[in-house]
Structure 1
Amino acid sequence: MATTKAKTAAGARAPEDAYTAAPFVPEGADLDGLRRAAAGCRGCPLHRDATQTVFGAGDADARVMLVGEQPGDQEDRQGTPFVGPAGKLLDRALAEAGIDPGETYVTNAVKHFKFTRAEPRKRRIHKAPTLREMTACGPWLAAELALVEPELIVVLGATAGKALLGSSFRVTEVRGTVLEREIHGRGELLVPTVHPSAVLRARDEDREAAYRGLVADLKVAAGVLS
């Protein structure tokens, strides 16, 4: 591990199997300390193209933690999770389901924006992180969970589900149900649902039904918290 840490800190390219954020996660830090440390994370290659690390944000004593996939374009530019269109839709759905968005903690399985461009100067197009990249970023999520100690995790989408529950996770099979699993050494309750960006990508004639489905899943989460 010391060798990996030294090479990573120096900016050298490590084998993909060796990617991990673990050497960058400070022991005993609070959320602000983690956020400062994460700004310098070089645990996988995603930091090279991203504007900045986008760490979790919200109520440090939140009863519910919402975990998404990765920052989007607006999040990457602003440095805060869920500030783009998907975040605004999520806040609306949470409020409608009976969960105060201001009393949640929101974060992502991966803390850097992964994207591709069709041509130079074209808009940045989201690209799903690999399982190895999600695993590399896992120590940050584990540290957030240990500090926030939420009563419930809302899993937003397939990528977040795979990061937390393994590669066999299928959101369509378990959405809107309450799961009990051990996550990063902690017993957790989880309610999976779709990522709000999936609602935005739905066809016009299907979007309202997709939104109602998201609200229905979040109402299940609200029931756990009641």
Structure 2
Amino acid sequence: MTIGHGKFGPALEQEGARAATLPDLREQASGCHRCDLYKAATQLVFGEGAQGASVVLVGEQPGDREDIAGRPFVGPAGLLLNECLHEAGVDRSRCYVTNAVKHFKFQQRGKRRLHAKPNADEIQRCAWWLAAELDLIHPRLVVALGGTALYTLFGRSVSVTKARGQILQVPTGPPVLVTVHPSYLLRTQKRPDAEMVRHQFVTDLHQIVQFCTEA
């Protein structure tokens, strides 16, 4: 499936990187005030991995654990992602892992900080950083983990429900594999079909190996 011009999301419409290296870009991002999420978050959580990574995994936003640690995908969803990548034959250490939104958005409930979904304006304002990361890395494949990542890359022209498991060809950027966010698996762990849901996710991730082997 090829996505035509004029249908890209915020990240694919950005101008691109204005830094020579990922550490330089991270330093620039650390002072980001593009939206108000920085005011409540502990810190910005930038992407992690090698500039020469062949695969970029894009999630939604940092969670509570990530906000405290300053690293992406180190909480429950991240641990589950690691397990599923391993089952699919994908070495996470050879991937670049990041999020569409770099600050944790939450609602305070007593002592707990509960995840709150970023809105369109917050996603659009943060998309410059993802575009800059992709500009510097030049990956063979981008993996959109869930709806927010997919919206950042394609806008509203593509949905996870319709495109899941497909590798979308982009005229002006790397191909994009569409799948769910690992937090979806966490929410379905007590359902009768939990094993099937996990198997489907691993099957989606296995396409990374197939694609990179064939590329």
Looking at structure 2, the residues matched to 174 and 220 of structure 1 have their Cα atoms a distance apart, in angstroms, of 14
- Aligned twin of 1:217: 204
- Aligned twin of 1:81: 72
- Aligned twin of 1:110: 101
Looking at structure 1, the residues matched to 17 and 162 of structure 2 have their Cα atoms a distance apart, in angstroms, of 37
Looking at structure 2, the residues matched to 40 and 178 of structure 1 have their Cα atoms a distance apart, in angstroms, of 34
| Residues 26 and 37 in structure 1, CA contact (< 8 A), matched pair in contact too | no
Establish whether residue 129 from structure 1 lines up as the match of residue 118 from structure 2: yes
Which protein is bigger by CA-based radius of gyration?
1
Looking at structure 2, the residues matched to 117 and 28 of structure 1 have their Cα atoms a distance apart, in angstroms, of 35
Looking at structure 1, the residues matched to 19 and 142 of structure 2 have their Cα atoms a distance apart, in angstroms, of 23
Query: SS where residue 57 of structure 1 aligns?
Result: coil
How far did residue 203 of structure 1 move? 4.3
Residue segments in structure 1 that go unaligned for 5+ positions in a row: 1-21
- Aligned twin of 2:180: 194
How far did residue 187 of structure 1 move? 2.1
- Aligned twin of 2:3: none
List aligned pairs for 1:169-180, cutoff 5 A: 169-180=158-169
Query: SS where residue 65 of structure 1 aligns?
Result: strand
Looking at structure 2, the residues matched to 77 and 134 of structure 1 have their Cα atoms a distance apart, in angstroms, of 21
- Aligned twin of 1:58: 49
Query: SS where residue 80 of structure 1 aligns?
Result: coil
What whole-Å deviation, never above 9, does each CA across 1:138-193 have from its counterpart, x for those lacking one?
110011001111000010001111111112431111111110125xxx32201110
Query: SS where residue 169 of structure 2 aligns?
Result: strand
2:38 corresponds to which of 40, 43, 47: 47
How far did residue 209 of structure 1 move? 1.6
TM-score, reference length from structure 1: 0.83
Where relative contact order (Cα < 8 A, 6+ residues apart) is larger, the structure is: 2
Looking at structure 1, the residues matched to 157 and 168 of structure 2 have their Cα atoms a distance apart, in angstroms, of 15
What whole-Å deviation, never above 9, does each CA across 1:183-219 have from its counterpart, x for those lacking one?
xxx3220111000010001141232221111101011
Looking at structure 1, the residues matched to 150 and 47 of structure 2 have their Cα atoms a distance apart, in angstroms, of 17
1:28 corresponds to which of 19, 23, 27: 19
Q: Calculate the aligned-residue CA RMSD, in Å.
A: 1.6
What whole-Å deviation, never above 9, does each CA across 1:43-64 have from its counterpart, x for those lacking one?
1011011000000001221110
Query: SS where residue 20 of structure 2 aligns?
Result: coil
Looking at structure 1, the residues matched to 61 and 136 of structure 2 have their Cα atoms a distance apart, in angstroms, of 20
| Residues 177 and 220 in structure 1, CA contact (< 8 A), matched pair in contact too | no
Residue segments in structure 2 that go unaligned for 5+ positions in a row: 1-13
TM-score, reference length from structure 2: 0.88
- Aligned twin of 1:206: 193
| Residues 131 and 167 in structure 1, CA contact (< 8 A), matched pair in contact too | no
How far did residue 26 of structure 1 move? 7.6
Establish whether residue 98 from structure 1 lines up as the match of residue 89 from structure 2: yes
How far did residue 132 of structure 1 move? 1.1
The farther-off stretch of 167-176 and 42-51 is: 167-176
Across the two proteins, how many residue pairs are aligned to each other?
Answer: 198
- Aligned twin of 1:3: none
- Aligned twin of 1:155: 144
State the 4+ residue runs in structure 1 displaced beyond 4 angstroms. none
List aligned pairs for 1:9-28, cutoff 5 A: 27-28=18-19
Query: SS where residue 67 of structure 1 aligns?
Result: strand
Looking at structure 2, the residues matched to 27 and 155 of structure 1 have their Cα atoms a distance apart, in angstroms, of 23
